[in-house]
């Protein structure tokens, strides 16, 4: 049955792919997006389907939120200011957009006495802080200490067991791992997740929170230096510069292709087993940051070795990748895009793109606030 679907923040690269998939399934799609210049250049993106009803406005504007909520069956709440580093010095904006913006959405839903079939909120792996680890002597460690600024300044990148001092080894991170927030962005994403889940429990609305890991893919903003690291690396490469890799490049992440993110969202819309649940969405396969830079370089035919800077950023973690057992069990989710396929597709798209490399500007801004060295 055709549904009227609202995607807040839907003009971004994830939201636009989501809109395409929903349209292909016969649904009607409305998007609320402020088209922030840092991401969009102040214009409707060329890639956004003409069949999408785009309402330009801010999720913090009650009148705009009321306007876009009319006759809506399903809500995907993607609207957010994104970026760990930037959140550490644009504190007010991040908390306003992410936390207050979510509050405005929920308040207007309540004011209108809305009972949507489903509310799906985009959460983030950043709320975990560090991932889960294994100590060879002491066993599983689900609450490793965050690295101190003193440790980062000394270039001792790996975490050690507090009991025996052994270097900890990363293992898949489960949803029940306690959060250990390391950035304002992480705090605001946890706010979004918990507010939506509380609202759902209180008012009987089916809510699912999907904790996205490191998303990459076509349409990712290449001019935003605080976007995903794959886009940052790619922008450097297509501008003839080597990717800049923090720390020693051996830190592990979970890179998940945007097509798999879309798959997970569609499943969450249609499945009831995940109602009221938090679910990791990743590839479930760890990959080193250095290796991401190498794969992108090879796919673009650049053969440029990444520059290992030995620098750090406040708010960065060492290792984290997803345990996706719950996504498999509750949603029937199974990642389909390999890293080689995904970065290959990204490279083909990048060949037609132009972008300004702002990585050095980002480093200067972080350095001004003492957030990198």
Q: Which helix (H) or strand (E) holds 337?
A: none
Which residues, at least 6 apart from 41, have a Cβ–Cβ distance to it below 8 Å? 223
d(CA 182, CA 180): 6
Which residues, at least 6 apart from 243, have a Cβ–Cβ distance to it below 8 Å? 232, 233, 236, 237, 293, 296, 297, 304, 306, 307
pLDDT, position 159? 95
Average pLDDT over residues 293-300: 90
Q: Which of 221, 165, 168 is nearest to 14 (CA)?
A: 221
pLDDT, position 276? 98
pLDDT, position 230? 85
Residue 369 in this model has a pLDDT that exceeds 70: no
Residue 103 in this model has a pLDDT that exceeds 80: yes
pLDDT, position 149? 87
CB 291 within 8 A of CB 321: no
pLDDT, position 303? 80
- Count CB atoms within 10 A of the CB of residue 165: 9
Average pLDDT over residues 216-240: 80
pLDDT, position 238? 83
Give the three-class secondary structure for 209.
strand
Residue 256 in this model has a pLDDT that exceeds 60: yes
d(CA 65, CA 82): 20
pLDDT, position 1? 84
Could you tell me the residue ranges of all domains in the chain?
Answer: 4-131+173-312+320-368, 132-172
Residue 84 in this model has a pLDDT that exceeds 90: no
pLDDT, position 350? 81
CB 290 within 8 A of CB 309: no
Q: Which of 13, 198, 176, 226 is nearest to 102 (CA)?
A: 198
Secondary structure tally for the chain: helices H, strands E: 14, 16
Sheet strands (E) in the chain: 4-8, 28-33, 53-56, 74-77, 118-124, 132-135, 139-141, 169-171, 207-212, 214-216, 244-245, 252-253, 255-257, 278-281, 287-288, 307-308
Mean of the per-residue pLDDT values of the chain? 91
Give the three-class secondary structure for 348.
helix
pLDDT, position 372? 66
Average pLDDT over residues 66-76: 98
pLDDT, position 146? 84
Least confident of 37-51, 155-169, 287-301: 37-51
Residue 357 in this model has a pLDDT that exceeds 70: no
Least confident of 28-32, 37-41, 70-74: 37-41
Average pLDDT over residues 120-130: 96
pLDDT, position 367? 66
Average pLDDT over residues 193-204: 98
| Helix/strand/coil percentages in the chain, nearest 5 | 40, 20, 45
Average pLDDT over residues 144-149: 86
Vertex 126, ends 125 and 132: CA angle to 5°?
65
Residue 353 in this model has a pLDDT that exceeds 80: no
CATH C-level class of 4-131+173-312+320-368: alpha beta
pLDDT tier, 358 (very low <50, low <70, confident <90, very high otherwise): low
Residue 364 in this model has a pLDDT that exceeds 60: yes
């Amino acid at each position: 049955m055709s549904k009227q679907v609202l995607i807040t923040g839907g003009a971004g690269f994830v939201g636009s792919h989501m809109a395409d998939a929903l349209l292909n399934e016969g649904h009607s799609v409305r998007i609320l997006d402020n088209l922030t210049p840092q991401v969009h250049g102040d214009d409707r993106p060329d890639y956004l389907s003409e069949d999408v009803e785009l309402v330009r406005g801010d999720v913090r504007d009650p009148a705009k939120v009321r306007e876009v909520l009319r006759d809506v069956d399903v809500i995907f709440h993607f609207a957010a200011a994104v970026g760990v580093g930037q959140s550490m010095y644009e504190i007010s904006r991040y908390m306003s957009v992410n936390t207050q913006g979510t509050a405005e959405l929920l308040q207007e839903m309540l004011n209108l006495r809305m009972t949507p079939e489903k509310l799906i909120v985009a959460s983030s792996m950043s709320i975990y802080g560090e991932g889960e680890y294994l100590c060879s002597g002491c066993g599983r460690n689900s609450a490793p200490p965050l690295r101190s600024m003193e440790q980062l300044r000394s270039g001792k990148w790996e975490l050690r067991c507090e009991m025996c001092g052994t270097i900890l080894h990363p293992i898949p991170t489960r949803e029940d791992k306690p959060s250990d927030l390391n950035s304002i962005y992480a705090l605001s994403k946890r706010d979004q997740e918990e507010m939506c889940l509380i609202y759902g429990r209180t008012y009987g609305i089916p809510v699912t929170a999907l904790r996205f890991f490191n998303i990459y893919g076509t349409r990712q903003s290449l001019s935003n230096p605080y976007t995903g690291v794959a886009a940052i690396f790619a922008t450097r490469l297509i501008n003839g510069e080597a990717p800049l890799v923090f720390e020693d490049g051996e830190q592990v992440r979970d890179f998940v292709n945007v097509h798999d993110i879309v798959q997970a969202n569609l499943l969450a819309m249609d499945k009831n087993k995940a109602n009221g649940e938090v679910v990791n969405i990743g590839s479930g396969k760890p990959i080193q940051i250095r290796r991401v830079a190498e794969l992108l370089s090879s796919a673009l035919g650049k053969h440029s070795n990444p520059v290992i800077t030995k620098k750090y950023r406040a708010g960065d973690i060492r290792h984290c990748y997803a345990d996706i057992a719950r996504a498999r069990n509750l949603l029937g989710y199974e990642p389909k895009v390999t890293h080689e396929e995904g970065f290959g597709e990204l490279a083909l798209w990048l060949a037609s793109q132009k972008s300004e490399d702002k990585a050095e500007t980002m480093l200067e801004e972080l350095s001004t606030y003492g957030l990198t060295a």
